[in-house]
Amino acid sequence: MHQENNNIKALRNRRTLNQKRKDEKQYKVNVLLQKLKEKRLGSYKIVKVHRYGRYDVEKVADGEGPLKTSTVAEFMNDFGRTEG
């Protein structure tokens, strides 16, 4: 009985999370973008596309942040466009 209640709660949580989830933006190699975190970390170029909205990126301009790193679509913004 206890396990069944936990399964029902997990199913409800999954449904709620999936309803609120936005479709991820798909990027291609060599696209310029801004990497976001708590603040903008600068301009990056996508060097490799992985499954599930994951990317390897490399810095193309001076500024904060690592030279090469991996990130996910939700932490990226098209270059020159600001989040509103």
Residue 78 is encoded by which pair of tokens?
């098209």
Q: How far apart are CA 84 and CA 56, in angstroms?
A: 25
What CATH number has the domain bearing residue 49?
A: 2.30.30.140
Q: For residue 5, is it within any domain?
A: no
pLDDT at 39 over 60: yes
Domain carrying residue 48: 25-84
Residue 33 lies in a domain: yes
**Quick check: is 17 in a domain?**
no
Q: Is residue 50 part of a domain?
A: yes
Q: Is residue 84 part of a domain?
A: yes
Split into its structural domains, the chain has a count of 1
What are the helix (H) ranges across 21-83? Answer: none
**Pure H helices in 1-84:** 2-20
**pLDDT one-digit tens code per residue, 41-77:** 778 889 999 988 889 999 887 777 788 988 888 788 7
The answer on pLDDT for 13 being more than 50 is yes
